[in-house]
Structure 1
């Protein structure tokens, strides 16, 4: 019966352990990057939410169904990414094949969803995007959150209203809201429109001297189109890192399975050699002993 060479198996085990440590280091590096990204998403979401919200409004928005604001969505996505990444992180540390395979599966689902979103985003033209964008100016006077966000949007993008400043025609503002008066021509008639102060670039004593005439929907679409290449490069970069994470996770799971199989085989081989050695010791006949016949006694 031939017995496998134990020294050769030890060499294969050492080489396999070295490969597994290298792959595990790369996977831990990628998961650490994802943990940082998820943490930044959560911090950013809480920062934005804390800037524009208070606790009473949080419960009011949850009751009214307007819970998924961009800041809350950022927090949720960050937590999901953090949970998925922690599965891979602890799976790598504990050398758990199940957790590493689960991490690769979840990353594959996220990668597929991102790929679909990127394809749909680049397939849409500006006119189609325009129909999807909505700036709820009709809730400006009744919703403190929407008021703060629209004011910030109008100042940052130098815009006014959803389609134009005429969206504020007939809106009843309260005394706590800063407004200005705009004088304009509509269908040949001279009318005055009360708009938020954030719509005005230069404020006079009574009237607005210089308006932000562009609608916020057009401004948002222009911003997205201008930065589409940057967004695409960032999206492809993140997807490439996720693909590397999937590949390294599958390779690590394969190495862990091989290493466990090698350990089991070595343990079985050592036990088999010990049993064979004991059996050989029992069956061995001592050849160095000389047989001496007993002497015969005689009577005189």
Structure 2
């Protein structure tokens, strides 16, 4: 293999290593978000778990394909390299579609999350466990703030565990922020991360496809010349 082909080979290996790291980061991000939402299992809308699960799945696929690309580059295996190229291209298309959908439907997703929370707030008297989960996970209190509980029994979930007085929560010791704003801000931030991280990884994958095609073509030419 000439110097140019060897350069492409090692550049492709480095790009795949970077893709594998990005895949691990996606898995980590999705797992953190999912674990953060873990106690909230009774929401009427499961859209809030869809995005982190998709992120984990994408990260897993990115990691597996990147590993295949690393092996194909180091072994100079034309079949493995071409398979890697097609798989990475298919993943790239799916990922761009996913990012575009998140971008286009961002406002609608946030509205769905807000509606899910509003329904949970309305049903707090019949099913307080959902609001307790919100308040515990997001360290918030009530819909707009602790004053929402002014004329009713104040829930213990509105206070940090170390601020409970005789296993009861006082409004003066509660979280100050309302859960609706906190929940909305949480998803606004994470949707932005999903959009731009997805585009960044897609750009890396595109470069990987180009280098994989170049390496595969170089391997074929090398073998063709070896037969003469």
Equivalent of 2:129 in 129, 135, 141: 141
Conserved 8 A contact 1:154-1:199: no
Q: Which residue of 2 aligns with 1:132?
A: 112
CA shift, 1:192, in A, is 0.6
The answer to whether residue 200 in structure 2 is matched with residue 215 in structure 1 is no
RMSD (Å) for aligned C-alpha atoms:
4.2
Q: TM-score, normalised by structure 1?
A: 0.54
Deviations 1:193-250 (A, max 9, x none): 44343468x877763135545333x434345546766654433222211110011011
Which residue among 91, 97, 100 is the counterpart of 1:119?
A: 100
**Could you state the TM-score of these two structures normalised by the residue count of structure 2?**
0.68
Structure richer in helix, relative to its length? 2
Q: Does 1:264 align with 2:209?
A: no
**What is the CA–CA distance in structure 2 between the aligned matches of 1:233 and 1:51, rounded to whole Å?**
21
Higher strand share: 1
Question: What SS does structure 2 have at the residue aligned with 1:192?
Answer: coil
**2:135 aligned with 1:154:** no
Alpha-carbon displacement from aligned partner over 1:157-190 (angstroms, at most 9, x marks no partner): xx446xx279xxxxxxxxxxxxx99643xxxxxx
How far, CA to CA, are the matches of 1:130 and 1:52 in structure 2? 16
- 1:39 maps to which residue? 24
- Give the equivalent residue in structure 1 for 2:14: 29
Which secondary structure state, in structure 1, belongs to the residue aligned with residue 155 of structure 2?
A: strand
Q: 1:43 to 1:125 in 2, by over 3 A?
A: closer
SS state at 1:141 partner: helix
* Aligned-partner Cα distance in 2 for 1:263–1:115: 40
Deviations 1:243-274 (A, max 9, x none): 10011011111111111101112xxxxxxxxx
Q: Distance in 2 between matches of 1:199 and 1:264?
A: 77
Unmatched runs of 5 consecutive residues or more in structure 2? 40-48
CA contact under 8 A between 2:102 and 2:195: conserved in structure 1? no
Unaligned runs of 5+ in 1: 1-15, 58-67, 167-179, 185-190, 266-300
1:245 aligns with 2:208: yes
Alignment of 1:146-225 (within 5 A): 150-151=134-135, 153-155=137-139, 159-160=140-141, 164=143, 183-184=149-150, 191-198=151-158, 207-209=170-172, 212=176, 214-216=178-180, 218-225=181-188
1:79 is the counterpart of 2:43: no
The answer on whether the counterparts of 1:165 and 1:195 sit within 8 Å (CA) in structure 2 is no
Take 2:187 and 2:52, find their aligned partners in 1: how far apart are those partners?
A: 19
CA contact (8 A) 2:16 2:66 kept: yes
Deviation at 1:100, TM superposition (A): 1.1
- Supply the distance in 2 between the matched residues of 1:247 and 1:75 (Cα, whole angstroms): 25
